[in-house]
Amino acid sequence: MSEHPGVTGSSRYRFAPSPTGALHIGGARTALYNWLAARHDGGELILRIEDTDRERSTPEHVEQILDSLRWLELDWDDGPLFQHADAESHAEALERLLESGAAYRDPATADDVRAWKAAHGSERGYRGAPNGDAADAAVRLRVPDDGDTVVDDVVRGPVRFPNRSFDDFVIARGDGSVLYNFAVAVDDARSGVTEVIRGDDHLSNTPKQLLVLGALGHEPPRYAHLPLLHGPDGKKLSKRHGAASVGELRDSGYLPAAVRNYLALLGWGTTDDTTIMSTEELVRRFEVKDVGRASAIFDEKKLRWLNGRFMREMPLDAYTEAVARFVGREPDEDLRAACSIAQEKAQTLAEVWPLIRFLFEDPVPDEKAWRKVMRSETLPLLEDAGAVLADAPSFDPQAIEEALAPVLERHSVKPGKLYQPIRVAITGSTISPGIFESLAALGRERTIRRIEEALVRQSG
RNA sequence: GGCCCCGUCGUCCAGUGGUUAGGACAUCAGAUUUUCAUUCUGGGAACGCGAGUUCGAUUCUCGCCGGGGCUACCA
């Protein structure tokens, strides 16, 4: 159509969140699937902000959503478009329907409709009558009593809705502002959207949009409705389900690539059971028609595991970069060295700093660890270790291990009896990267000092 | 209430008119290990129920049960 510049005949996808809250993982998955599908078949992706609800939509939420998408590294080719900014075309389409008689003004209120239903039974939707006097009444779309409206869904197959069961639904408020099901249909047609991938909660809305499209004489796009995501309790995912928003995922220390991989697997899978996939592989293999039909439960344990795999396989530079961003430090040589000894130990970015903190700050003694490890008989061990380390020919992990070996023999103790007190002395905790690597990274000076401080603290 | 969707291990994802129903996370046991992790080996664990079709159903059909969505002058 001539009013659709840029429509080339290839597929056009859209992601259309409403800015009434932060982007949830459900919305993130919808965004990801649209993105994967668009990138897979070389189509375009439009980002449209569904803000016709002026009451609940806020600029802050818009920013949050854009931030989340950027963090997920999902880009778009057009937009963000704002739905409410397109009021003229909505008004124009509305006028057309009013003139053709496909829609009519009806002063009936929600209460009136309820009363009508009480009187007429619930097997047939509300049918109103035009009222010429009501210039400021809501506009309803006339829905036929006969026939079905069929949604030919890519993941569910054809789904039939008896027209009789629908109300003559409201498409515009009394003040002329349009409602969701109308705006969506008009916008999708106007921007030449050919593929609609969205949550299953919209399946029941689709026939309404089809009815609007039909009344306007537009070809409908192809629809694919994704199964909904649920929390661990099986209920619809919401704020109380922990890391439910993209922002929380980021703050929990997850990697965007791992989140993309995990989300892709929530509702879709490969025939050969491949689990870990790069984004390139995801793009190559993802097809909407292979999406499952059953709702899925978000399982953070698996995300953690997947994230750990990505963390461990990252090049050190990228790893250091990610850690630096997460903890708000410079990705300098010190941090890089610290990261190199902690990389294999952490499943999330949030777990890295506690492991390497002792290299940047004085250790904060964990009393429990101290009591458990620092016994009277460990004093001579620590003393001996301190002396040996002070004299070690060099201070790399191997040299340290070799220097410490005789201490073990002299006191005939198992390795743990020596290493744990040292660990607590230099890190304050019983948990750290490998002891030799930790000592080497800390350096001789600080090592000796911390051991001496521990001895003072312990005997004093 | 009406309309609609869904139902394979605890969870996610495969799969088939005839399979020992597969993989992953989680879990359990064992091995490795200086802590914590990692890694390795092994184990347990599922086709919601009832009919029908069929020589044979987890797979096809219907009913039931269970879960979910929509039913706003919200999106």
pLDDT at A240: 59
Residue A198 and residue A225: Cα distance in Å, rounded?
Answer: 5
- CA of A300 vs C1' of B34, distance in Å? 31
Closest nucleotide to residue A182 (Cα to C1')? B75
Closest nucleotide to residue A305 (Cα to C1')? B25
Answer for the pair A80, A48: CB distance below 8 angstroms, yes or no.
yes
Answer for the pair A203, A176: CB distance below 8 angstroms, yes or no.
no
Longest dimension (CA), chain A: 103
Nearest residue: Cα versus C1' of B12: A266
List the end-to-end C-alpha distance of chain A, in Å, as a whole number. Answer: 86
pLDDT at A238: 63
Nearest residue: Cα versus C1' of B22: A273
ipTM more than 0.85? yes
pLDDT at A31: 97
Distances (CA, A) of A389 to A82, A182, A330, A386, A418: 66, 76, 30, 5, 13
DSSP-assigned beta bridge partners for residue A159: A151
Helix (H, G, I), strand (E, B) or coil at A263: helix
Closest nucleotide to residue A397 (Cα to C1')? B34
DSSP letters, A22-54, are PPBHHHHHHHHHHHHHHHHTT-EEEEEE----T
Residues of A that are catalytic: 239
Closest nucleotide to residue A273 (Cα to C1')? B23
Sign of CA dihedral A301, A303, A305, A308: negative
- CA of A300 vs C1' of B29, distance in Å? 25
DSSP-assigned beta bridge partners for residue A236: A230
Residue A60 and residue A80: Cα distance in Å, rounded?
Answer: 14
- CA of A308 vs C1' of B50, distance in Å? 46
- CA of A436 vs C1' of B31, distance in Å? 24
Answer for the pair A52, A84: CB distance below 8 angstroms, yes or no.
yes
Nearest residue: Cα versus C1' of B67: A234
- CA of A188 vs C1' of B1, distance in Å? 34
- CA of A196 vs C1' of B17, distance in Å? 35
| Torsion angle (degrees, nearest 10) of CA A233, A234, A239, A241 | 40
Could you report the per-residue pLDDT of A50-100, keeping only the tens digit for each?
988 878 889 999 999 999 999 999 999 997 999 888 889 999 999 999 999
Global pTM value = 0.92
Sequential pLDDT tens for chain A (460 residues): 333 444 455 899 999 999 988 999 999 999 999 999 999 999 999 999 998 887 888 999 999 999 999 999 999 999 799 988 888 999 999 999 999 999 999 988 888 888 888 888 888 899 988 776 667 889 999 999 999 999 999 999 999 999 999 999 999 998 889 999 999 999 999 999 999 999 999 999 999 999 999 999 999 999 999 999 987 777 667 665 555 899 999 999 999 999 999 999 999 999 999 999 999 999 999 999 999 999 999 999 999 999 999 999 999 999 999 999 999 999 999 999 999 999 999 999 999 999 999 999 999 888 888 888 888 888 889 999 999 999 989 999 999 999 999 999 998 888 999 999 999 999 999 999 999 999 999 999 999 999 999 888 877 6
Could you report the per-residue pLDDT of A281-339, keeping only the tens digit for each?
999 999 999 999 999 999 999 999 999 999 999 999 999 999 999 999 999 999 999 99
pLDDT at A133: 66
pLDDT at A425: 94
| Torsion angle (degrees, nearest 10) of CA A114, A116, A118, A122 | -90
Residue A332 and residue A303: Cα distance in Å, rounded?
Answer: 29
**Which nucleotides of strand B come closer than 7 angstroms to any CB of the protein?**
1-8, 10-15, 22-26, 33-39, 67-75
Residue A68 and residue A413: Cα distance in Å, rounded?
Answer: 53
Closest nucleotide to residue A268 (Cα to C1')? B13
- CA of A244 vs C1' of B9, distance in Å? 26
pLDDT at A4: 41
Closest nucleotide to residue A106 (Cα to C1')? B73
Give the other-Cβ count within 10 Å of A374's Cβ: 20
- CA of A249 vs C1' of B26, distance in Å? 20
Closest nucleotide to residue A342 (Cα to C1')? B37
Q: Which residues contact A400 (CB under 8 A, 6 or more apart)?
A: A389, A392, A436, A439, A440
Residue A269 and residue A409: Cα distance in Å, rounded?
Answer: 55
| CA nearest neighbour of A171 among A132, A118, A128, A219 | A128
